[in-house]
Amino acid sequence: MNGDAIQLVSQALRDRLSAAFRAQGIPGDIYVGPLDDRDAEGAAAVLFLYRVAVTADLRNSAHISQPPGGNPPTIVYDTALPLDLYYLLTARTSQSGRELDALRVLGFAMQALNDAPDLVGLPVQGDTVRLSLDPISSEEMSRIWTLFPTTNYRTSVVYLVSPVWIDPAAGPAAAAPVVSEAYRAAPAGPGD
C-alpha cells in the first residue's frame, strides 16, 4: 500500500462496521477519532487508533503486492514497512443514556468483525489485512482511557489490525527486458 495505508484501512474498518449497523437498524455511524471529540456526538460507536507499531515478525520480509485481477503485475518491495494498528472500539450510549443499548451496539460490532476477520480487495489495495480481538489487561485499558480524562469510561474492546504495509515511495527498479541473447561456443582447451 502507499503512504495512505493507515487511512485506507481505517476507512475499510469503518465501512465494515457501518454496514453491519445498517443491517441491524442501529442508528448513527462510526466515528473515527478521539473519544472526547465533539464530532463523536451522535455516533453509534467510536473507533480510535491509539497505537501504531512495527510488525516484528515481518520486519525484514519483502512485501509482495498482488493487485486484484493481476493487473498491474505482482510487485515485490524489499524495504516495505509492516505495521500493526491497534484500535479501541467503544459503543456510545443512546440519546436516552441507556447502557444496555451501547452493549447491544458493541455486540453487533464484534459479531461483524468476527464473521469477516479479513479486509481484502480494493479498499486495501489488494492486500489481505487481518482483524483480531486483542486481549489486553484491565491495566492497559485504564492507561488508554486516561488519555480522555473528561470522558466517562465505557465498555470497550481493542482490535489488532495487521499487517498494514507502507511501501516505499519509489517502487522497485525495473530491469530492462531481455530482447536477445547470444551464445558463443569455443573449442575446449587441453586442460578443460
pLDDT at 3: 79
Question: What's this model's pTM, rounded to 2 decimal places?
Answer: 0.81
The alpha-helical segments, DSSP class H, found in the chain are 5-24, 99-115, 138-145
Of the ranges 59-68, 101-110, 147-156, which one carries the lowest mean pLDDT score? Answer: 59-68
φ/ψ (deg, to 5) at 141: -60, -40
Q: What is the CATH number of domain 5-166?
A: 3.30.2000
Domain ranges of the chain: 5-166
φ/ψ (deg, to 5) at 165: -95, 135
Averaged pLDDT, 81-103: 83
Which amino acid is residue 188, in one-letter code? A
Of the ranges 60-74, 89-103, 122-136, which one carries the lowest mean pLDDT score? Answer: 60-74
Angle between helices 99-115 and 5-24 (to 10 degrees): 120
- Banded model confidence at residue 92, pLDDT cuts 50, 70, 90: confident
**Cβ burial 68-101 (10 Å sphere, 16+ → b, else e):** eeeeeeeeebeebbbbbbbbbbbbbebeeeeeeb
